[in-house]
Amino acid sequence: MTNEELFEKMYQAILKGEKEEAASLARISTEKNISPLEAIHRGFVRGMEEVGIRFESEEMYLPELVMAADAMISAMGVLEGEIKKGAERPKRIGRAIAGTVYGDIHDIGKNIVCTLFTVNGFEVIDLGTGVPTDLFVEKVSEEKPDLLLLSALLTTTMPGQREVIEALTRAGLRNSVKVLVGGAPVSQNWADEIGADGFGRNAVEGVSIAKELIG
């Protein structure tokens, strides 16, 4: 199997949500001495980009998105270990804190975001789901990140993003961090309304916007 054929199989494994296959292909890439970062970007990330496009256009639905995310995480479980063992690491771009706002326990989108930000050179501190507003503020004060990534997967929890931004302002921390919001019900209009610095329709777009925000 050529490298190009392997990258195509990685792409297809993500699209089909094949968790075991994705991990197996990741291991094959290490046996072929392919750079972990090359495998991630030319194979698996391409698959996630396509999944994002299809999900937005309603060609894919939530169960398929979950399967794709699981396949991506499975592959990353193999390749992140190789990155840590070797000298090759993505060039460090910045530091980010991520979490799903209070009242929202969904972690699919956040997990994908954390994975893609990590492989693109961001140090990511994942606070998990249902994160209280005060904890976001506390961690921004302690960790001094470049970015704060706020996820909301429900219309009813979207106001939590506004609450975090307002709390940062009250604490005198708003100008110290760029806030990027995302999630299925979130839009650019909402981001503008609550005073966020950026909005990502999907994880891939979020990485691109984040790089622009921190120069």
b/e for 11-26, b at 16 or more Cβ within 10 A? bbbbbebbbebbbbbb
* Average pLDDT rounded to a whole number, residues 34-40: 86
Q: Is the pLDDT of residue 98 over 70?
A: yes
Pick the residue with more confidence: 54 or 96?
Answer: 96
* Average pLDDT rounded to a whole number, residues 47-59: 83
The reported pLDDT for the residue numbered 106 is 79
The reported pLDDT for the residue numbered 129 is 92
* Average pLDDT rounded to a whole number, residues 115-129: 88
For residue range 183-203, list pLDDT tens digits in order: 878 999 999 999 999 998 777
For residue range 141-192, list pLDDT tens digits in order: 999 999 999 999 888 999 999 999 999 999 999 999 999 998 878 999 999 9
The reported pLDDT for the residue numbered 90 is 63
The reported pLDDT for the residue numbered 92 is 80
Q: Is the pLDDT of residue 21 over 80?
A: yes
Average pLDDT, the chain: 89
User: What domains can you pick out in the chain, each with its CATH number?
Assistant: 3-85 (1.10.1240.10), 94-213 (3.40.50.280)
The reported pLDDT for the residue numbered 171 is 97
**Percentage of the chain modeled with pLDDT above 90:** 55
For residue range 1-15, list pLDDT tens digits in order: 899 999 999 999 999
HEC secondary structure over the chain: CCHHHHHHHHHHHHHHCCHHHHHHHHHHHHHCCCCHHHHHHHHHHHHHHHHHHHHHCCCCCHHHHHHHHHHHHHHHHHHHHHHHHCCCCCCCCEEEEEEEECCCCCCHHHHHHHHHHHHCCEEEEECCCCECHHHHHHHHHHHCCCEEEEECCCHHHCHHHHHHHHHHHHCCCHHHCEEEEECCCCCHHHHHHHCCCEEECCHHHHHHHHHHHCC
The reported pLDDT for the residue numbered 46 is 87
The reported pLDDT for the residue numbered 54 is 86
